[in-house]
Amino acid sequence: MPLSWLTLTLTAFATDTSVITVQRGDSSHRLPQLPTVASIDPEAGRCIVTYTWDGTKSVGAIGACAAAFTPADRAQLTSSAWEGQGSPGLIAEVWVSLADRPGELPLWGVLARPGVALDLDGEAREMPHRAQEVPSTALPFEPAEVFADADCDVRVEVGPSGLPTLVAATACEPRVGDAIEVLLRSWRFQPWMIGGFPRQSAFELLASAAHGAQGAYEMTLTWPSDATRGGDSVHVTDRAVSRPPVERPTNPYVIQVRHKGFAAVRVHDLVMPEPWTGPDARSCPILVGVNSRLEVVTWPEARCHPDVELRSVAAGNAFRLTPAPNLEGERYARFRGVFRFAPNGGPVTFDLPSPDIEKGANDLPEGVHGRPAAVVLRSISPRFAGQGEASCTVDVAITRSGRPKDLRADASCPTDMQAASIKAIKRWRWAPPLEDGRPTTIRTRVTVRRQG
């Protein structure tokens, strides 16, 4: 089953001109410029705007919208004029989040749908549509059952924890739709990251009840990037998914860790991933967050092997954590670590940066290791000549004086990014880790990204 994704954030100055082009069948529409809004409060929520084409012009309609968006803001959004041609129907659904500095455009998240091609200039990207945990694809139907319409349009809204907050299947036989909704509610998806925090997002896909290899019914999915079948309408229902609150751990915490300026996290239970059966050792750096409702969300800090990443994220999401001190709302306490996988099904270990461990450093659980970490004092952004979103990871040795040496770009680093990445990282400076009070050398990995 193909799982693919893109992530959308757009931050630009008001003097910039950014373009979104939407292609659906014989319809093509273009938004020549993104509007600005007066309100500035990135924590205040979002405003959902749906743009449709009436045959001659675009029409904007406001959906759920935070109070921080003023009437003038809403008028700016709905009056955005799309150019284009085609039959009447939906152009795009856009989730707009407020900017955090005067003069900046808001953050725009474009809903991803199958059969719709997006050409997004600048920093624009689709909202993510990627599954992180797939407990099952089996549907509770007998092999001999026959359905009049087993193909459903499905809308999935994903909360900051990666859990679905709404799954709505429409345009199919009700029994099939109900079963697909129940199944997708057990999945976990990639949250949308804005400014280092997971936020609410949404996407659409096509789901079908189809016979699998053994004859039993399984759910098959067409993800937005497959673009194998078009759909000219968005189906939204009010069938929200309610989940019971996570129970607070009763066992004492074994480690207290803190990442940078975030609140500390108390770790009650750590879950190790399933071993990696490949012939080469692998690693996956992750960030793990927990909010006041004890919802845990894990996301990779850098690109990892897909199988290793799924194992790492699933294990991180199963951690039992509490924030210290208590947090309110969607603010996350978080920490970082690296899962290291031995080859051929060998043991898995979890490395924590030693400076991040505030309590429990002398009694770490089995398989957990504290590693000294170098602290970045100065960083320089590379200047890339090429185009397209990509990332480059560079392995670097940090000397006792905090200078980099012996820089080596990963084989996965695009050729046109290697020289610029290494040139920039050579100008970085670190505070080296201390052992017995003295600076020591260490190897680390630095990932730089090219945006769009």
User: 401: closest CA among 428, 421, 420, 422?
Assistant: 428
- Token pair in block for residue 343: 């080859």
pLDDT in tens, 185-225: 989 888 887 766 788 899 999 999 988 877 889 999 988 86
**Do 69 and 93 share a domain, yes or no?**
yes
Q: What is the pLDDT of residue 253?
A: 93
Whether 4 is covered by a domain: the verdict is no
Question: Which pLDDT score is estimated for 255?
Answer: 94
Could you tell me if 384 and 349 lie in one domain? no
On the question of pLDDT at 12 being above 60, the answer is no
Residue 245 lies in a domain: no
pTM equals: 0.69
Q: Domain total for the chain? A: 4
Residue 338, in any domain of the structure = yes
CATH code for the domain in which residue 193 is found: 3.30.2420
Amino acid at 179: A
Domain boundary among 120, 146, 169: 120
How much is the pLDDT for 42? 67
Q: Are residues 388 and 411 in the same domain?
A: yes
- pLDDT tens profile 347-357: 999 999 887 89
Instruction: Specify the pLDDT at position 135.
Output: 86
Nearest Cα residue to 96 out of 31, 156, 10: 10
- Would residue 427 count as lying in a domain? yes
The reply to whether 388 and 439 lie within a common domain is yes
Regarding whether 367 and 261 lie in a shared domain, the answer is yes
361 in any annotated domain: yes
Question: Does one domain contain both 340 and 380?
Answer: no
Backbone phi, psi, residue 44, to 5°: -85, 0
C-alpha pair distances (Å), 327 with each of 237, 265, 295: 32, 11, 12
User: Across 98-246, where does the E strand assignment appear?
Assistant: 107-110, 116-120, 131-133, 151-158, 164-170, 188-189, 192-194, 197-199, 201-211, 217-222
Residue range of the domain that includes 325:
255-371
Average pLDDT of the segment spanning 270-298: 89
Is 241 a member of any domain?
no
- 413 in any annotated domain: yes
- Domain check: are 299 and 358 in the same one? yes
Q: Are residue 263 and residue 362 in the same domain, yes or no?
A: yes
Same domain membership, residue 109 and residue 65: yes
